[in-house]
Amino acid sequence: MTKPITMIPELENNTSFMLGLAYKQFRTIANQTLAIECDITLEMLGALRVLAHLGEVPQQALAEALRRERSVTKRLVDNCIKRDLVEVRKSELNKKARYLVLTKKGVEVKDKAHQQLSALVDDFYSPLTTQERGLILSLCKKLIRDDIFLTGE
């Protein structure tokens, strides 16, 4: 028998509420650690990971990879630029296009944050078996829709 979490049956038996609560707890723990250790947020780490993987890309490509609206992505990029993690380059062909690339500091911070987050993930998911972790991942992928982009929270 699992322990009660809210003591309110309508919430206790609501999958969306519980999924959201688990994510919010993880995000809180991760953001606290990343802020102290690396001066970044979980969202900023996501942006650094995308740029490390894709290389120099237009800001729109970053927004699409993160599945976030452009305005939210612009604020995210601005915060990365302020910390000297990302550099903006202008396109020779399209002067309005902003191309983003990681700085040397951005690569270093991404690597350090990745190590910090890996330890957090292992601890957070420790109550689950490897098979349960895989099941949660596959179920979440089934729920994610292609036509919805995230707004700021």
Over the stretch 27-75, which tens digit does the pLDDT of each residue have?
A: 999 999 999 999 999 999 999 999 999 999 999 999 999 999 988 999 9
pTM beyond cutoff 0.85: yes
Q: Tell me the domain boundaries of the chain.
A: 18-143
Q: How many helices (H) and strands (E) does the chain have?
A: 7, 3
Please name the fold of domain 18-143: Arc Repressor Mutant, subunit A (1.10.10)
Is 125 in contact with 133 (CB distance < 8 Å)? yes
What does each C-alpha distance from 97 to 12, 43, 52, 63, 134 come to in angstroms? 47, 22, 19, 13, 39
Dmax over CA atoms of the chain, in Å, equals 63
Give the separation between CA 107 and CA 109, rounded to whole angstroms: 6
